[in-house]
Amino acid sequence: MSELNNMSMKVIISKDGPYIVTGNVPLRKEIIDSNEHGESIKWKSGEKYPSKKQYALCRCGKSSNKPYCDGSHERTGFDGTESANRQLYLDQAEVIKGPTMTLTDVKSLCAVGRFCDPHGTVWNLVKETENSPSANKNFIRETCDCPSGRLVAWNNASGKPIEPSYEPSIALIEDPAEKCSGPVWLRGGLQLIGADGFEYEVRNRMTLCRCGASQNKPFCDGTHTSIKFSDKN
């Protein structure tokens, strides 16, 4: 991918309206796959949408043409005011240091993917990474599977984060265990621009509200699970 094409790939938040995606960003569904205990264990790729140079994704949750906008935000008087903390990720993060690995955690970014729960939770696993290869493996996998980037694993020796490798793309999350549709998942360092022109910090993983009910817009706060949001039209 050329540098020019990468720079053109961005998501612009329109005032009280949709996410405008430019630069031919790939779009598909990603499904949270659970085990027999209902624990999130892996991502499963779903439907792939046709390629488009530009498209508008619904963020009010009311479109009859989901995932695309159909103008429902205007008819319903959707308030899309962005209220999220605009500080850099590390300036907000709680730091939990283990013997060989460190965990950073920004709770306000939680999108309730629940990949952090198996094997005793990542908050416990980080303290066990020195003497347990399985704990180390599970810790890295669970933090990397966190779609919102709320959780990041860091190697203490190098001081560098451990991130999954993503091409710039967007996924629409489905959560069968919770019987609902989840957020818009930005991957691979897509630029997000606020309705006022503010350029949000570029991160490898971000989740944006698409049910319209988050109290931490533009980011998902997990409300889709409590209201059982569905993107079925």
Sign of dihedral through CA atoms 163, 164, 167, 168? negative
pLDDT at 2: 35
- Whether a cis peptide bond, with omega within 30° of 0, leads into 147 is no
List, for residues 81-103, the tens digit of each pLDDT value: 999 999 999 999 999 999 999 99
**pLDDT score at 1:** 33
Mean pLDDT, residues 46-57: 96
Helices (H), the chain: 3-8, 72-76, 89-92, 122-125, 133-145, 223-227
Cα dist. 231→70, 76, 162, 180, 221 in Å? 13, 17, 32, 8, 17
3-state class (DSSP) for residue 125:
helix
Give alpha helix (H) positions in 23-132.
72-76, 89-92, 122-125
> What is residue 6's predicted lDDT score, i.e. its pLDDT?
55
> Which H or E run includes 63?
none
Question: Which residues lie closer than 8 Å to 180 by C-beta, 6 or more apart?
Answer: 224, 225, 227, 228, 229, 230
d(CA 207, CA 184): 5
In whole angstroms, what is the distance from residue 93 CA to residue 7 CA? 27
Cβ neighbour number for residue 22 with a 10 Å cutoff: 15
Q: Is residue 169 within 8 Å of residue 48, measured between CB atoms?
A: no
Question: Side by side, which strands form the sheet with 10-13?
Answer: 54-57, 19-22, 10-13, 191-193
Whether the predicted pLDDT of 121 surpasses 70: yes
- Where are the chain's structural domains? 1-233
pLDDT tens sequence across 6-40: 558 999 999 999 999 999 999 999 999 999 888 99
Residue type, 224: H
What's the pTM value of the predicted model, to 2 decimals? 0.95
Compute the mean pLDDT over every residue in the chain, rounded to the nearest whole number. 95
